[in-house]
Structure 1
Amino acid sequence: MQKIYLDTRKLDASCRASYGLTEEIMMENAAMSLEMAIRNPTPPCTERRKAQKILILCGGGNNGADGYTLSRKLRFDYDVSIIQFFEPKSQLCKLQADRAEKCGVRFVKREDLSFYDLRFTDIIVDCVFGSGFHDELDEKTRGTLGDMNACECFKIACDVPTGLHEDGTVAEGAFVADLTVTMGALKTCLFSDMAKDFVGQVRCAELGVNRRLYENSTNSNLVKGMLLEESDLFLPHRAVYNVNKGSFGHVAVVSGEKQGAAAIAGSAALRFGAGLVTLVHKNSSKKGLDIFPELMVSSEIPEKTNVIAFGMGLGRKDEAAQIYFDYILEHGNIKCVIDADACHAQGLKNFLEKKEKGVVLTPHPKEFQAMLKNCDLGEYSVEECVLNRMEFAEKFCRKFPKKTLVLKGANLIIAHFDGFKFKLFVNPFGQPCLAKAGSGDVLSGLIAALLAQHRKTLDAAISASLAHALASRKIKCDYAMTPYDLILATGQLEEFEAKN
């Protein structure tokens, strides 16, 4: 896991004070990291031809100074040109621009960009605006960045892509990077849903000291959350031989109006290690439920059930969800996964107040909107729920401690408050193929399976979400995936497990 910060400016200042560094030293190291990304490329950059011509877009502040510094490091080994978006304004930008000019770097004004400059470019490096950008991009800047985005070359952003705001929103005409080399530490804005199409791969650069020293340079707790890595995945392998199916738990998946959703979740739970899975419907003879021979069917919750997953395809009638809220409260040892329609239930607030622990909720943004309203945490638009989801996740978890919240999105968020410390995790591995009906049901089934195998709710949410996202990377066609393709792929994750 890697730490994520809302703002790294305090870290920059404390790093300089603690270790006797200067802004100039840190700038040289920032430029060195950009240089290494060019000299020692990794996929997808390596899939292109060897870089020869490089355009560096420079603004007037210290982000632009990073670009000027980079240009003189690459001089003579590459055909380097500086595209001046703005005249140097900060002292360091003026100094580094002067040094680049003395090294013979070619300077080009935006209006003088030629067809040759763009047509034969191999790499574009965006050093126009850094983190902390709040404004909109002017028409001229949008136009130039649009030309850059249209170039079929590899694009690198310095710190954050130009146009990405500190809150994770994106200005019209923002730079679209294939790789973002962010400086010092990871920033939350890089992992908003809106940012995912603009940042590309994210790599963290060291600024003159080891990254751990940089992050520990202040006693203030500035950490906003943790970024999950592949190595955080722990698969539910079976190390003991003297076991039976009951050793791995019994998941009951409630089938409602749309029975296919429950069948998908149940199949995912069985694939991910649950010993038994039962589809529960008031009418156990309902046609369609018996076409899944590996899943049992019952009109009642089996006696030894230790996890109930419900909400997927349940229907919006409050009494449908209330039956299971009441049952779980009566059987205190049962854990549960609450998904989809159950997130809209009026009885959710009362249930969460009474159920002390053992609850995982998995809403998408519209369902989270309903949860916030029904739990008296405010009425917000879906857009606000997406934009402020880290803030709202903390608000929700502090009101309902010991519950684990899984917020679906381009970068999935997991949040938990244990009564003492709020914890937030970001899973960045999901692929576009997951934007299809049934994908969320698979995730709920995976979480239920791990809960049945006695994982804690937070651990189950983390490993299940990673398995879900990493399995999506195994799908070769981005539009043709079915939920059962995804379920099968969860049994093919050994390459990630080997890194643990």
Structure 2
Amino acid sequence: METVRAAEAELMARLPEGTLMQRAAAGLAATCARLLTGRRGRVYGSRVTVLAGSGDNGGDALYAGAALARRGARVTAVLLVPEKAHPGGLAALRAARGRVTVEQEVGLADFSRADLVLDGIVGIGGRGGLRPEAQPYARAARRGAVVAVDLPSGVDADTGEVPGVALRADVTVCFGTYKPGLLIDPGASYAGAVQLVGIGLEPPAAEVTALQHADVAALLPVPGAESDKYRRGVVGVAAGSATYPGAALLAVAGALHGGAGAVRYVGTAAEEVVRRFPEVLVTEGGPAGAGRVQAWVVGPGGGEGVRQALAEALASDVPVLVDADGLTELGRLGPDALAGRTAPTLLTPHTGEAARLLAGAGGGTPPAADDLAASRLATARRLAADYRATVLLKGSTTVVADPGGAVRVNPTGTSWLATAGSGDVLAGLAGSLLAAGLAPLDAASAAAYLHGLAGREAAGEPGAPTTALAVAGALPAVWRAVRTP
């Protein structure tokens, strides 16, 4: 968040004192007024509690509280650090006939019965979770909506980590630019609906980005008049085993909808694959004897044959996506297995597989998967650096990191994708985009985006259990939707 603070300082130097805070407070108050009107029909007479910490974050909340008080809301500000309360915001609230308290019992009582709570406890500079004086508010019962000021208090703005107790918001109003912690779990799950308020900020290029429809549409391969199946790319899929033949079918299903012109399958499930997908090219043996492809997908349900398949694919001069059993084998081999590659490698682990990869890189005991899930951004970055490969870390928030430092988070995921075989579909889809010519960062990001949309499409609204094959079947519809202006 140092870049955001620097941009704020540069802007404040060009504006009259207090202008930036007034812009932020005005946008915050407008959002709160809309919420109150939607819930109660009006702002007048609403109970509003402002949890005000120190510094500018508390000032934003106090000024917004003052604006609501001028519209007839009954506003109480609870000063959690009274000696550091923002003097201008405090004066504005008192001038608007707002009430101020420093007593914990009074504050908790107001919090529990408020129609709306403004969380201005900690801003983007906060670290280490909520302080003891604020923790009771994270645990207390409430009846109204909580609106976080720029970031839910207790969430790390840079990483989305929640190192201690945090306040869960229904809406987060962020100023100038989205903070990474609002996009990455576990922090994202505390943010609720996120509303961006423009304050004239011009931050530098973001360290973490999230693609939208237009971004993905620009990446998706579209055949031209001179295209044939080979010019569009051929993706090789080495997947499945006697124990997991379905993994081959699902990876192939994802690959068929991923933009490449043809899919070439090698593995023990050839008969099942051709019966289900007669358009697939089948080759006996492993990747080394399969003929020319533009990318390989290795590992889904690979079982006992994955060691040889991975070695042959990595020896090729085309991009290789490694998933599932292939990642377990790569974790055993360590980063040296990729050291001589001239073509890119894309790794698609969940946190359990990430733990094995990190153990392979460090030679130690695998870290706990839960710990890695709690620090998703750091985990993806570390894997990308250790293996010099692009990493798509699957989970409640999918994070894509490349060895050059670029990071993207996927905004389309759904919990209905937590179903057997979903990752096999994603692997085939991403591998097909690689074969169609996309760079690993783009292929992984676009695949995660489409996969998330397909999961939503397959589950329907408001959502119901679905299957991985249904997710693969929904890919053409969401591909068309993304490319529709």
Does the pair score TM above 0.5? yes
Distance 1:321 1:6, change over 3 A: farther
- Secondary structure of the 1:196 match is helix
Q: In structure 2, what is the Cα distance between the partners aligned to 1:77 and 1:298?
A: 73
**CA deviation after TM superposition for structure 1 residue 340, in Å:** 1.1
- Secondary structure of the 1:162 match is coil
Higher relative contact order (CA 8 A, sep 6+): 1
Q: In structure 2, what is the Cα distance between the partners aligned to 1:397 and 1:114?
A: 45
* Superposition map of 1:175-194 within 5 A: 175-194=167-186
Q: Tell me what 1:480 maps to.
A: 465
Q: Tell me what 2:446 maps to.
A: 463
Q: In structure 1, what is the Cα distance between the partners aligned to 2:426 and 2:433?
A: 11
Does the Cα contact within 8 Å between 1:6 and 1:188 map onto a contact in 2? no
Of 324, 336, 339, the residue aligned with 1:350 is 336
Does the Cα contact within 8 Å between 2:151 and 2:172 map onto a contact in 1? yes
Identity, % of aligned pairs? 24
Q: Tell me what 1:308 maps to.
A: 296
Q: Tell me what 1:299 maps to.
A: 284
Farther off after superposition, 32-41 or 252-261: 32-41
Does the Cα contact within 8 Å between 2:300 and 2:424 map onto a contact in 1? yes
Q: Tell me what 2:64 maps to.
A: 70
Q: In structure 2, what is the Cα distance between the partners aligned to 1:308 and 1:354?
A: 17
Distance 1:398 1:171, change over 3 A: closer
**Do structure 1's residue 385 and structure 2's residue 372 form an aligned pair?**
yes
**Do structure 1's residue 244 and structure 2's residue 228 form an aligned pair?**
yes
Q: Tell me what 1:13 maps to.
A: 9
* Superposition map of 1:263-302 within 5 A: 263-282=249-268, 284-285=270-271, 290-300=275-285, 301=287, 302=290
Q: Deviations over 1:266-312 (max 9, x none)?
A: 10111233322243224745x68734445454433532333221111
Q: Tell me what 1:89 maps to.
A: 83
Q: In structure 2, what is the Cα distance between the partners aligned to 1:271 and 1:49?
A: 47
Farther off after superposition, 65-74 or 173-182: 173-182
Does the Cα contact within 8 Å between 1:6 and 1:224 map onto a contact in 2? no
Distance 1:49 1:342, change over 3 A: farther
Farther off after superposition, 340-349 or 459-468: 340-349
Q: Tell me what 1:394 maps to.
A: 381
- Unpaired runs of 5+ residues, structure 2, are none
Q: Tell me what 2:201 maps to.
A: 211
Of 12, 27, 33, the residue aligned with 1:33 is 27
**Do structure 1's residue 337 and structure 2's residue 333 form an aligned pair?**
no
- Unpaired runs of 5+ residues, structure 1, are none
**CA deviation after TM superposition for structure 1 residue 195, in Å:** 0.9
Q: In structure 2, what is the Cα distance between the partners aligned to 1:467 and 1:398?
A: 26
Q: In structure 2, what is the Cα distance between the partners aligned to 1:46 and 1:460?
A: 43
Q: In structure 1, what is the Cα distance between the partners aligned to 2:335 and 2:81?
A: 56
Q: Tell me what 1:224 maps to.
A: 207
- Which amino acid in structure 1 is aligned with residue 137 of structure 2? T
* Superposition map of 1:97-108 within 5 A: 97-107=90-100
Farther off after superposition, 162-171 or 175-184: 162-171
RMSD, aligned CA = 3.1
Q: Tell me what 1:158 maps to.
A: 149
Q: In structure 1, what is the Cα distance between the partners aligned to 2:39 and 2:151?
A: 23
Distance 1:55 1:306, change over 3 A: same
- Which amino acid in structure 2 is aligned with residue 33 of structure 1? G
- Which amino acid in structure 1 is aligned with residue 253 of structure 2? S
- Which amino acid in structure 2 is aligned with residue 202 of structure 1? V
- The count of residues paired between Structure 1 and Structure 2 equals 468
Q: Tell me what 2:477 maps to.
A: 492
Q: Deviations over 1:404-452 (max 9, x none)?
A: 21111222111123xxx43122223212112222221121111111122
Distance 1:330 1:144, change over 3 A: closer
Does the Cα contact within 8 Å between 1:64 and 1:128 map onto a contact in 2? yes
- Which amino acid in structure 2 is aligned with residue 81 of structure 1? V
Q: In structure 1, what is the Cα distance between the partners aligned to 2:383 and 2:131?
A: 38
Q: Tell me what 2:73 maps to.
A: 79
Q: In structure 2, what is the Cα distance between the partners aligned to 1:114 and 1:399?
A: 47
- Which amino acid in structure 2 is aligned with residue 38 of structure 1? C
Distance 1:247 1:165, change over 3 A: closer
**CA deviation after TM superposition for structure 1 residue 352, in Å:** 1.1
Distance 1:104 1:496, change over 3 A: farther
- Which amino acid in structure 2 is aligned with residue 247 of structure 1? R
- Which amino acid in structure 2 is aligned with residue 13 of structure 1? A
Q: In structure 1, what is the Cα distance between the partners aligned to 2:378 and 2:363?
A: 12
- Which amino acid in structure 2 is aligned with residue 16 of structure 1? M
Distance 1:171 1:242, change over 3 A: closer
Distance 1:82 1:343, change over 3 A: same
Distance 1:135 1:276, change over 3 A: closer
Q: In structure 1, what is the Cα distance between the partners aligned to 2:92 and 2:423?
A: 54
**CA deviation after TM superposition for structure 1 residue 20, in Å:** 4.6
Distance 1:175 1:236, change over 3 A: same
**CA deviation after TM superposition for structure 1 residue 169, in Å:** 2.8
- Which amino acid in structure 1 is aligned with residue 95 of structure 2? K
Q: Tell me what 1:431 maps to.
A: 414
Does the Cα contact within 8 Å between 2:80 and 2:133 map onto a contact in 1? no
Distance 1:30 1:279, change over 3 A: same
| Structure richer in helix, relative to its length | 2
**Do structure 1's residue 129 and structure 2's residue 122 form an aligned pair?**
yes
Q: Deviations over 1:59-87 (max 9, x none)?
A: 24122221110022123434232241525
**Do structure 1's residue 412 and structure 2's residue 392 form an aligned pair?**
no
